[in-house]
Amino acid sequence: MGSGYFGTDGIRGLTNQAPMTAAVAMRVGMAAGKYFLRGSHKHRVVVGKDTRLSGYMLENAMVAGFTAVGMDVVQVGPMPTPAVALLTRSMRADLGVMISASHNPYMDNGIKLFGPDGYKLSDSDEAAIGALIDGEVPLAQPQDIGRARRIEDARGRYIHAVKASLPEHIRLDGLKIAIDCANGAAYNSSPTALWELGAEVVAVGVAPNGRNINDKCGSTHPQLLQETVVSSGADIGIALDGDADRLIIVDEHGHIIDGDQIMAVIGIAWHRTGRLRGGGVVATVMSNLGLERCLAAEGLRLERTKVGDRYVLDAMRQGGYNVGGEQSGHMILADHATTGDGTMAALQLLAAMIDAGKCASEFLRQFEPVPQLLRNIVYRRGDKPLDAAAVKAAIAEGEARLADNGRLVIRTSGTEPKIRVMAEGDDAALVEQVVADICGVVEEASK
C-alpha cells in the first residue's frame, strides 16, 4: 500500500479491518518511530486518543511499535487533538500521535501524526512512513528498547493553555454557556476551562462510554445543543466534535452559526484591533461566497484552498495568515495553536461578542449566506466518473449558467467513495437546477 495508508487527515478506517487493525497500528508505530529517530538524544513520542472503545487496542499496539524501535512513549489518555499537538511541542517530543476518527461514529478510528513542531506531517513525510510500514524496520537492541509512561497532569496543562488564549481583559462572568462535547476527547477539559473562566456551564455529551462518541451529539449533530440552549436559557451554545478540533455555535434562539460565520467574526474582530495578519482569512473552496463578499467589504481577502484543514494551514503558513478554517467548523488560529482547536476558537468568538456588547443572535451572523447546495453521489471504488466526457460537458455548462453570479465546485471525497457537487449563487432556483443536472449526469456515468 505504501503512502496509500494516508488520506487527507492521517490514516482512517473501520476498526479491525485494514488499515485500522492492531497489527497495522503496531507497524505504524515502528515505521513512524524509526523515521523520527534522528540525532543522538533520547527520543520521545506523545500519544493521545479520543474516547472510542478501540482506542485502547490501537494505543497499546502503537506503544509496542514505538518502544520496539527504541522510542520512549508518553501516554496522555483521552485528550483533544490540539492538546496532543501542543504537548508534543512543549515537551520537546520528536513526534505526536492522536488516535481518533474525529467526527466519525465509534466503529471507525484513525491515526493522526504530528511532527516535533506540533504541525501535521507533510505529504512527503507521510509517504516515507507509508513505505516503511510495508518494509523491514530494524528493531532496537535489548538495552535500547523504549519505555512507556503515563502523565497525569496533561489535561491541566492543556486547560491552562486554553485559558491563556483568552484576552486578559475578558471575563465570562454572567454568561450561561451550553457546551456539547460529543462524548469525545474534550468531555472534561472544555467545560472545566469555561467554568474556570467564570461562565455558568451547562454541559451535555460529557459521559463517554466508548460507543456513544458523536452519537446524535456534537458539531455534526447539533440538534441536542439547540434544544439544550433553548431549554436552559443559555446565552450561547458550543458544539465540538469527537476530537475537539471542530466547532459549531448555536445562538440563544437555537440557530446554528457555521464555520464561515465564525471565521468572519474572528477575522473582522482581529482586523479591527490590529491583530489580523496576512490581510485576510484562509478557507476552502467550500466556504460561502457571502463570506468572501463580507471580508471584501472590510478590505480583506479570502484565500481559498482545497478541502482539508492541512491545506488551509499550509496556505496560512506560506502567506503569513493567522486566521483560517473550514465551513464545517475547523478553526485554525495560528497565534494560539498549530492545528484546529474548537475550544480556543470559541473563546475568541466569545471575546469579540463581549467586546461588542451584543447578544449572540445580534452579533454572530455577520453576513447573509448566498444560496448554496451540496449533494453527494456514491460511486464504485476504482471508477472515475468525473473523467467521463458527458460529465465534463455538464460541468462546463453549469459553470457557464452560473457565470459571474455564482460558483461551482465538483470534487472527489478524500475519505469515502463519493463525488461532492456544490453550487452557489444569487439565484437559488438556478443553483438547485445546476446541481440536479450535474448529479444526474454523474449518477448515469457511475452506473
Q: What residues are labeled active site?
A: 102
Long-range own/partner contacts, residues 11-14 (CB < 8 A, 24 or more apart): 11/110, 11/111, 12/101, 12/104, 12/108, 12/109, 12/110, 12/111, 12/415, 13/108, 13/109, 13/110, 14/107, 14/108
CB 115 within 8 A of CB 121: yes
User: What is the C-alpha to C-alpha distance for residues 369 and 289, in angstroms, rounded to an integer?
Assistant: 7
- Only one residue has cell 473552496, namely 285
d(CA 322, CA 40): 35
C-alpha cell at 306: 482545497
What element of type H or E holds 397? Answer: helix 389-402
d(CA 289, CA 55): 39
Distance CA 353, CA 408 (A): 33
Residue at 221: amino acid letter? H
